[in-house]
Amino acid sequence: MMKKMTMKDVDLKGKRVFCRVDFNVPMSEGNVTDDTRIRAAVPTIEYLVENGAKVILASHLGRPKGAVNEDMRLAPAGARLSELLHKEVKSLDESIGEGVEQEIAAMNDGDVILLENVRFHPGEEKNDPELAKAFAALADVFVNDAFGAAHRAHASTAGIAEHLTAVSGLLLEKELDVLGKALSEPDRPFTAIIGGAKVKDKIGVIDHLLEKVDNLIIGGGLSYTFSKAQGHEVGNSLLEEDKIDLAKSFIEKAEEKGVKLYMPIDVVVAKEFSNEGETKVVEISEIPSDWMGLDIGPETAKTYAEVIKNSKLVIWNGPMGVFEMSSFENGTKSVAQAMAETQAYTIIGGGDSAAAVEKFDVADKMDHISTGGGASLEFMEGKDLPGVTALTDK
């Protein structure tokens, strides 16, 4: 990857800095319920403040589809940021226009304001050049610290960079550094664990990972497409019919490349998608036709934990089962615990996997929890991230 400019390459004193962050955080009744992404942006914001910049923060929140949505205003995130910084953060109710320009003109060096949700404008997700110009007109320098949105080519992540000196923030740099190192010079044995429900989204990353890893562990909803590819019946389990052949080709590719592929050998099955119904553990070849697999079984969990413990580097994306329900949480819990106990360098990507390590109280034992789900996957797939590509070359 071409070297991109960072905050250290620009003079920030007295400059108006448009800093794109990812404050797309869960909220309930006007309160931020998980501030991980806000905390992750604090070092960059503090760096800008300490270096005398006028800090203009911009973010999206949710998917308001180009219109104002009262439930998706950013002010609660601004309030939380203010507490974290121990400093006033003024939240505006617009992201462009005269009112915003006046607020910026009145800023002192080191002041921080937060613009309104940029997705209230239809031009944001379309990467409309006019909106990008309007954002650029507010500032002298563009800092992109929104790793979680770096896979989006939007006006405030990519378009704006055509008009200003565009540099990376500390979080963006750290994410690229950690994920980049893990993939380019991995400590071995290198293990990837792929689970969750989004089969289509994860097929691409599995293909790419087969070129890199020593062990590939498959679990969660997507494992049934692999079981079917091996010739097992999967009953009512999640199945992506049109990906069975692809799963077969991955099984062959793993063999060719000498990658050890681990798939469930036993599963927890239920008749209904519910925490209350009857459950039992069966061998993978014995799933009854009217039951569904909702977690990996205890033998599988034991094997996976052993592989994790004997690894030097582990990347985990996607839970092993429906861990939100206590009847189907054990597989994910045992993987989380093995991740906490291993000496390996541990990286978590994806919202649900991050939520799982929080739920099982082992988040502080992980070496890196990525703030980007989709972004970390696309990066691992070897795709260019538009929010990074758009930055100014060194």
Ligand X SMILES: O=C(OP(=O)(O)O)[C@H](O)COP(=O)(O)O
Active site residues: 37, 198, 351, 374
* Contacting residues toward ligand ADP, per CB under 6 A: 196-198, 220-221, 238, 293-294, 317-319, 321-322, 324, 350-353, 373
Q: Which residue is nearest to ligand ADP (CB)?
A: 196
Q: Does the annotation flag 353 for ligand binding?
A: yes
- Least separation in angstroms between residue 391's CB and ligand X is 18
265 binds, among ligand ADP, ligand X, none (CB under 5 to 8 A by kind): none
Q: Name the pairing type of β-strands 190-194 and 215-218.
A: parallel
**Nearest approach, Cβ of 65 to ligand ADP (angstroms)?**
21
Cα–Cα distance for residue pair 230/217, rounded to 1 Å? 15
Picking from 352, 290, 282, 299, the residue whose alpha carbon sits closest to that of residue 321 is 352
324 labelled ligand-binding: yes
In the complex with ligand X, which residue's Cβ is closer, 298 or 374? 374
Nearer to ligand ADP, 118 or 320 (CB): 320
We find the least distance from the C-beta atom of residue 376 to ligand ADP, in angstroms, to be: 9
The residue at minimum Cβ distance from ligand X is 373
* H or E segment to which residue 274 belongs: none
- Assess contact for 49 and 42: CB atoms under 8 A: no
204 in a labelled binding site: no
Q: Which does 382 bind (CB under 5 to 8 A by kind): ligand ADP, ligand X, none?
A: none
Q: Containing H/E element for 288?
A: none
| 188 marked as part of a ligand binding site | no
Rounded to whole angstroms, how far apart are CA atoms 366 and 248?
A: 32
Closest by CA position to 146, among listed 20, 34, 24, 4? 20
- Taking CB within 5 to 8 Å according to partner kind, which of ligand X, ligand ADP, none is near residue 63? ligand X
> Which of helix, strand or coil describes residue 54?
strand
Could you list the residues that contact ligand X (CB under 6 A)?
A: 22, 24, 63, 148-149, 152, 351, 372-374
22 versus 173: smaller Cβ distance to ligand ADP: 22
Q: Toward ligand ADP, which CB reaches closer, 197 or 281?
A: 197
* 143 in Cβ contact with 20 (< 8 Å): yes
Q: Is 14 annotated as a binding residue?
A: no
Instruction: Give the DSSP letter string of 110-127.
Output: T-EEE---GGGSTHHHHT
CA atoms within 13 A on the CB side of 74: 29
Q: Please check if 61 is assigned to a binding site.
A: yes
Question: From the CB of 114, what's the least distance to ligand X, in Å?
Answer: 16
Contact between residue 370 and residue 348 where contact means Cβ atoms under 8 Å apart: yes
Phi-psi region of 300 (alpha: psi -120 to 50; beta: other; left: phi over 0): alpha
For ligand X, give the closer residue by CB, 223 or 371. 371
Alpha carbon distance 139, 14 (integer Å): 11
Residue 387 partner contact from ligand ADP, ligand X, none using kind-dependent CB cut-offs of 5 to 8 Å: none
Q: Which does 140 bind (CB under 5 to 8 A by kind): ligand X, ligand ADP, none?
A: none
- Measured in residues, the chain has a length of 394
Q: Which residues are annotated as a binding site for ATP?
A: 202, 293, 324, 350-353
